[in-house]
Structure 1
Amino acid sequence: MTRSLGQAIGLLKFNNQELSAFLAFHDAVNPHLSLIAQGHPPDRPVSRSDAPTGAATRPVFVETLAGPAAGLYDHVRREVGLVPLVPRERAIAERLIEELEPTGWLGRPVDDALSKICGCSRTDLLAHFATIRGFNPKPGQQFGAETPAAVPPDLVVTREGDGFAVDLNRSSLPVVKVGRTTGMAASDQQMLVAARMVARAVERRNIATLQIAAEIVFRQSAFLREGEGALLPLGLREIAEAVGVHVSTVSRVVAGLRMDTPRGPLGLREFFSGAVSGLDRPVSAVAVRARIAAMIEAEDPAHPASDADLAARLSGDGVSIARRTVAKYRDALRIPTASARRRGSRPGRE
């Protein structure tokens, strides 16, 4: 195995954010490698047939990233700016803002000395306290925790005719450029070789990722159109054999990558499922669970179906499944037993 190939295999487990961080490090230490942010989304997504090239693209739709929330002091200054104040009052307000703590003002108990300072009676002071206590005692804490940014998908699936096309989410991946210079010292030559290796490794990673994702989408296109009930049994080895790579390569790719699909964001692992024996062909365990949930949802609340009843109905539909397997799937769906449902609790996923 060449060093470049080994590096490409190592990159397979990276999602786009991790890969971008990896490239940013090499950009910082290698003068011959530079990164160019892709300001425009791709033009056409990649279908299963042209996935190896990965050259053509289409606009991608990425979740909006949450921006940083305004800080406490900026927020208060904006609020003060809305109040008509004379210069002296504004100066006092600015001084108060500078002394402001996230827990707010008057965080400690006060005694009768405050009434003397304010020049008012204790009764009036308590009335003012009642008003103040109606405020949020810790207004700054709402600015303490930043809203987590939505993680952009690594791949994007779009409809294309009767099928689907797949592309990398290139808006979250920079373009790797390798520079050339003449008359380089030996050390610079080594850095140039290293930069080229990184660029080749990224290209191999992207091609392998597209090939695998396109094959997955091709095989599970019915699932994307119709939902869980149409998910087919699928294993890592089937994809590996179809694409012509080792099963460990597929495992690395699907481990942490997410895909934006017409059914919403999904992890690649969600496209895989074990098989349950069917009359004509195997049925995915995910599809069977979906059918169990649908049957329970449609049942008569006064006469809920037992696990044995559900197994018999599935068998009548051509799905060979044991009662204990139905019970296992029902538990996985967090649906109560028939006796519990009969007592009045409706099924629902918690």
Structure 2
Amino acid sequence: MNTRLTMRQSQTLGMNQQQQQSLRLLQLSGQELEKTLIDEAERNPFLTIKDARTQRRANGPATSGDWLDSIAAPSMSLTAHLTAQADLLPSTDRAVAYALIGFIDDTGYLTEPPAQLADRLGLSHDAVLDMLHVVQSFEPTGVGARKLAECLLLQAVEAGEADDAMRALLDNLPLLAEGRLGKLARLCGVDDAALGELIRVLRCYDPKPGLVFSPADNGWLNPDIIVRASPQGWRIDLASGALPTVTVVKDATAVAAKCRNADDKNWLSNCANDARALVKAVAHRQRTLLSVATAILEHQQAFLNEGVAALRPLTMREIADELSVHESTVSRAVAGKSLSCPRGTFELRFFFASGVVQQDGEAASAATIKSLIKALIATETSAAILSDDALVERLRAQGYDIARRTVAKYRESVGLGNSSERRRANILRGATGQALRAA
């Protein structure tokens, strides 16, 4: 046996404790951050807090009415739920875990390929995959999957039901969608009865595990950003009173220094440092959120003036480049945040949309096309149902050169059936109306 001194080069994503705290606070929703601040104020004697609801009552009734205060705060978001689990990891792993969580959407799926994330984070592909497997072990089971089959497999493994037959079924989900059960049974190596039992088990799994944390389940959004019209244009502000005011007790360091007991003195000194770090982290979060929202609306001013039909294609990478921050920072900033403007309240993620190119070379967002399709279908009558080909022609007449399959995809994504389904629905509504009038 010999002793040797060797050198090895490796890549890591390192952050100090204050940076990790800033990232953690950034991706919390307003309600989650409020709870975090209240909890910290109860733990730390050098933090003072003035509750946001108390501030609102002191400032008089809000324009929307104080009845909002009686509504329970929304449950924890998926991002916050995953972040709380990542907080339990070793400090050397948290930064990568936070980055991955920033790219998990509301349904629970990873939105970027690991190889692409590795390039963006400056890490090896294996390092990102290793941490992805850790995140996939978080609750809810199935989170962090890259596709439906992987999401369902994670749940099958957790339930102890991932035998060869189940794995074969998950590898051939398109056959199940097509109803080709005979071929599927042969591939799974089971008879028809056993295949039926496999399918029954499969239907017990959740294809979108993240939605149990979706803000949409709460029925309303408490905005983080307020947009108002002013003589100088659109004014963008943080929601007043949305968060408690947190301050550090005056002369906290001096108070700690006067303590004679060494252990108590050390604890008080740490509390003073933690209090100052928290106040700075909250201020940094608010500045980042406001700068990201401002940059987004600089691109989407047409939406404010004209509505959803004027939304432009926009990516998080564009905003990140403009602000000279990492794309994951933008992803964290918009996660669970919403914006209130004269046109309603919208999640910040709503303003990031893929797009298509119009005939004049300008780009239009997918949301714009979807709104146009909905408007066209809303005008049809039972005697003149628009086929997808007809929708393509109507859109081309408005300057949008879109393939038929794209129109079908957008139509389905907004919950509208094909022409045959809509025709049957119209006939059914007509028959129901006649029956009611006759009664």
TM-score by length of 2: 0.53
Q: Indicate the residue corresponding to 1:16 in structure 2.
A: 30
Match of 2:289 among 201, 205, 209: 209
**Given the alignment of the two structures, is residue 246 of structure 1 paired with residue 326 of structure 2, yes or no?**
yes
Match of 1:35 among 43, 49, 61: 49
Q: Indicate the residue corresponding to 1:159 in structure 2.
A: 229
Deviation per CA, 1:199-241, whole angstroms, max 9, x where unpaired?
A: 1111111100010011112221221232211111111111111
Q: Indicate the residue corresponding to 2:70 in structure 1.
A: 67
* 1:1-350 to 2 correspondences below 5 Å: 1-37=15-51, 61=63, 64-65=67-68, 67=70, 152-161=222-231, 163-179=233-249, 180-181=251-252, 182=254, 183-184=257-258, 185-279=265-359, 280-343=361-424, 345=426
Measured at CA, do residues 9 and 347 of structure 1 come closer, stay the same or move farther in structure 2, by a change above 3 Å? farther
**Residue type matched to 1:302 in 2?**
A
Q: Which has the higher contact order (CA 8 A, sep 6+)?
A: 1
**Residue type matched to 2:28 in 1?**
F
Instruction: Find the aligned partners of 1:10 and 1:254 in 2 and give their Cα distance.
Output: 13
Q: Indicate the residue corresponding to 2:198 in structure 1.
A: none
Moved over 6 A (4+): none
Instruction: Find the aligned partners of 2:69 and 2:266 in 1 and give their Cα distance.
Output: 46
Give structure 2 stretches of 5+ with no counterpart. 1-14, 73-217, 259-264, 430-439
Measured at CA, do residues 338 and 211 of structure 1 come closer, stay the same or move farther in structure 2, by a change above 3 Å? same
Instruction: Find the aligned partners of 1:31 and 1:339 in 2 and give their Cα distance.
Output: 67
Deviation per CA, 1:56-78, whole angstroms, max 9, x where unpaired?
A: xxx97557416379xxxxxxxxx
- The Cα shift of 1:275 comes to 0.8
**Residue type matched to 2:41 in 1?**
D
> Would you say the 8 A contact 1:164–1:218 is kept in 2?
no
- The Cα shift of 1:323 comes to 0.7
- The Cα shift of 1:346 comes to 8.3
- The Cα shift of 1:318 comes to 2.6
**Residue type matched to 1:329 in 2?**
Y
- The Cα shift of 1:300 comes to 4.7
> Would you say the 8 A contact 1:335–1:347 is kept in 2?
no
> Would you say the 8 A contact 1:62–1:152 is kept in 2?
no
Percentage identity across aligned positions? 36
- The Cα shift of 1:273 comes to 0.9
Deviation per CA, 1:271-308, whole angstroms, max 9, x where unpaired?
A: 11111121221110110011111122223542222111
Q: Indicate the residue corresponding to 2:91 in structure 1.
A: none
> Would you say the 8 A contact 1:66–1:149 is kept in 2?
no
Instruction: Find the aligned partners of 2:362 and 2:275 in 1 and give their Cα distance.
Output: 50
Q: How many equivalent pairs are there?
A: 253
Instruction: Find the aligned partners of 1:8 and 1:60 in 2 and give their Cα distance.
Output: 30
Is the partner of 1:345 in helix, strand or coil? helix
Measured at CA, do residues 224 and 347 of structure 1 come closer, stay the same or move farther in structure 2, by a change above 3 Å? farther
Q: Which has the higher helix share?
A: 2
Give structure 1 stretches of 5+ with no counterpart. 42-58, 70-147
- The Cα shift of 1:258 comes to 1.4
> Would you say the 8 A contact 1:256–1:267 is kept in 2?
yes
Question: What is the alpha-carbon root mean square deviation over aligned residues?
Answer: 2.8
Measured at CA, do residues 20 and 343 of structure 1 come closer, stay the same or move farther in structure 2, by a change above 3 Å? closer
Instruction: Find the aligned partners of 2:282 and 2:49 in 1 and give their Cα distance.
Output: 12
Deviation per CA, 1:39-66, whole angstroms, max 9, x where unpaired?
A: 667xxxxxxxxxxxxxxxxx97557416
- The Cα shift of 1:197 comes to 0.6
Measured at CA, do residues 267 and 344 of structure 1 come closer, stay the same or move farther in structure 2, by a change above 3 Å? closer
> Would you say the 8 A contact 1:301–1:344 is kept in 2?
no
**Residue type matched to 2:276 in 1?**
R
Measured at CA, do residues 8 and 62 of structure 1 come closer, stay the same or move farther in structure 2, by a change above 3 Å? farther
Measured at CA, do residues 337 and 18 of structure 1 come closer, stay the same or move farther in structure 2, by a change above 3 Å? same
> Would you say the 8 A contact 1:154–1:257 is kept in 2?
yes
306-315 or 334-343: bigger deviation? 334-343
**Residue type matched to 1:65 in 2?**
L
Measured at CA, do residues 68 and 227 of structure 1 come closer, stay the same or move farther in structure 2, by a change above 3 Å? closer
Instruction: Find the aligned partners of 2:232 and 2:272 in 1 and give their Cα distance.
Output: 45
